[in-house]
Chains A and B, each alone.
Chain A
Amino acid sequence: MSTHVAVAVPASRAGFLRRRRRSYRLLTVPALLVVAAVIVFPWLFTVYMSAFDWKIGEAARFVGLGNYVGLATNQRFLEAIVRTFYFTLLAVVFPLVLGLVAALIFHRQFRGRGVLRAIFTMPMMATPVAVALVWTMMFHPQQGVLNYLLTLVGLPPSLWVYSPTWVIPSLVIVEVWHWTPLVMLIVLGGLAALPTEPYESARLDGATEWQLFRYITLPLILPFLVVAAVIRTIDAVKAFDTIYVISQGGPGTASETINLYLYLQAFAFYNVGNASAVVVVFFAIIVALALLLLHVRERTRWVA
Chain B
Amino acid sequence: MSDRTQSESPDVLRRRLLGAGAGVAAMGLLPGALAPTARAQGTFDWKRFKGEKIEVFLVKSPRGDLLSRYHKEFEDLTGIEVGSEMIPEQQQRQKAVIEFNSGNPSFDVIALSYHVQKRQFARNNWLTDLRPYISDAAMAAPDLDFADFAKGGLNYAVEPDGRVMSLPLNLDPWVVYYNKELFAGKGVAYPRTFAEMIDAAAKLNDPGKGISGFVGRGLKNANVPVWTSFLLGYGGSFIDAKGKLLTDTPEAIEAAKMYQTLLAKSGPPGVAGFNWNESQTLFLQGKAAMWLDGIGFAQPLEDPAKSRIVGKVGYGVMPAGPKQQVSALFGDGEGISGTSKKKGPAWYYLQWASNKTNQTRMLQAAAGAPVRNSAYAAAQQSSDFKAPKEWVDCMLKSAAIAQPGLPVISPVTEFRDVFGVALANMINGADAATELRRATAEFQPVLDKSEKA
B269 touches A162 (CB 8 A): yes
Q: Which residues of B lie under 8 Å from residue A163 when comparing CB positions?
A: 270
**Chain B CB within 8 A of A56 CB:** yes
We find that the number of chain B residues with CB closer than 8 angstroms to chain A is 36
B220 touches A264 (CB 8 A): no
B120 touches A57 (CB 8 A): yes
CB distance from B215 to the nearest CB of A (A): 10
Among B129-137, B230-238, B386-394, B419-427, which stretch is in contact with chain A?
B419-427
**Chain A CB within 8 A of B282 CB:** yes
Q: Which of A59, A142, A252, A270 contacts B97 (CB 8 A)?
A: A270
- Bound-state Cα–Cα, A163 to B414, Å: 23
A141 touches B428 (CB 8 A): no
Q: Which of B120, B124, B270, B411 contacts A162 (CB 8 A)?
A: B270
**Chain B CB within 8 A of A140 CB:** yes
**Chain A CB within 8 A of B98 CB:** yes
A251 touches B94 (CB 8 A): no
Residues of chain B from 96 to 133 with CB closer than 8 A to chain A in the complex: 97-98, 100-101, 120, 124
A141 touches B427 (CB 8 A): no
**Chain B CB within 8 A of A62 CB:** no
Question: Chain A, interface size: which category?
Answer: 20 to 34
B270 touches A268 (CB 8 A): no
- Bound-state Cα–Cα, A270 to B413, Å: 10
Residues of chain B from 250 to 306 with CB closer than 8 A to chain A in the complex: 268-274, 278, 281-282, 285, 287
Q: Which of B97, B98, B220 contacts A251 (CB 8 A)?
A: B220
Which B-chain residue is minimally distant from A161 (CB atoms)? B273
A251 touches B219 (CB 8 A): yes
Which B-chain residue is minimally distant from A58 (CB atoms)? B453
Main secondary structure of the interface of B (DSSP, over half): helix
Q: Which residues of B lie under 8 Å from residue A167 when comparing CB positions?
A: 273
- Bound-state Cα–Cα, A140 to B101, Å: 41
A59 touches B453 (CB 8 A): yes
**Chain A CB within 8 A of B210 CB:** yes
A164 touches B272 (CB 8 A): yes
Q: Which residues of A lie under 8 Å from residue B278 when comparing CB positions?
A: 140
Q: Which of A248, A252, A269 contacts B411 (CB 8 A)?
A: A269
**Chain A CB within 8 A of B417 CB:** yes
B268 touches A142 (CB 8 A): yes
**Chain A CB within 8 A of B213 CB:** no
**Chain A CB within 8 A of B333 CB:** no
B413 touches A252 (CB 8 A): no
Which B-chain residue is minimally distant from A267 (CB atoms)? B94
B272 touches A268 (CB 8 A): no
**Chain A CB within 8 A of B218 CB:** yes
Q: Which of A157, A160, A269 contacts B414 (CB 8 A)?
A: A269
- Bound-state Cα–Cα, A58 to B98, Å: 12
Which B-chain residue is minimally distant from A264 (CB atoms)? B417
Q: Which residues of A lie under 8 Å from residue B120 when comparing CB positions?
A: 57
CB distance from A246 to the nearest CB of B (A): 9
A142 touches B414 (CB 8 A): no
A162 touches B421 (CB 8 A): no
A251 touches B428 (CB 8 A): yes
Q: Which residues of A lie under 8 Å from residue B285 when comparing CB positions?
A: 142-143
- Bound-state Cα–Cα, A56 to B100, Å: 10
Q: Which residues of B lie under 8 Å from residue A157 when comparing CB positions?
A: 269
CB distance from B413 to the nearest CB of A (A): 5
- Bound-state Cα–Cα, A55 to B219, Å: 26
A142 touches B101 (CB 8 A): no
B270 touches A250 (CB 8 A): no
- Bound-state Cα–Cα, A162 to B281, Å: 16
Which A-chain residue is minimally distant from B221 (CB atoms)? A248
Which A-chain residue is minimally distant from B288 (CB atoms)? A142
Given contacts A56-B97, A56-B101, A59-B453, are A252 and B421 in contact (CB under 8 A)? yes
CB distance from B198 to the nearest CB of A (A): 22
- Given contact pairs A247-B273, A248-B219, a sample of 17 additional A-B residue pairs in the complex whose CB atoms are under 8 Å apart: A57-B101, A58-B450, A140-B270, A140-B281, A141-B270, A142-B285, A159-B270, A163-B270, A167-B273, A248-B220, A250-B272, A250-B273, A251-B427, A251-B428, A252-B424, A267-B94, A269-B417
Q: List 24 A-B contacts (CB under 8 A).
A: A55-B450, A56-B101, A59-B453, A140-B270, A140-B281, A141-B268, A142-B282, A159-B270, A162-B269, A162-B270, A162-B273, A163-B270, A167-B273, A247-B273, A248-B220, A250-B272, A251-B273, A251-B424, A252-B220, A252-B272, A252-B428, A267-B94, A268-B417, A269-B411
Query: Which residues of B come within 8 Å of A, CB atoms?
Result: 94, 97-98, 100-101, 120, 124, 210, 218-221, 268-274, 278, 281-282, 285, 287, 411, 413-414, 417, 421, 424-425, 427-428, 449-450, 453
Rank and list the top 6 A-B pairs by shortest CB-CB distance, nearest first.
A162-B270, A251-B272, A162-B273, A141-B270, A252-B424, A58-B453
Query: Which residues of A come within 8 Å of B, CB atoms?
Result: 55-59, 140-143, 157, 159-164, 167, 247-253, 264, 267-270
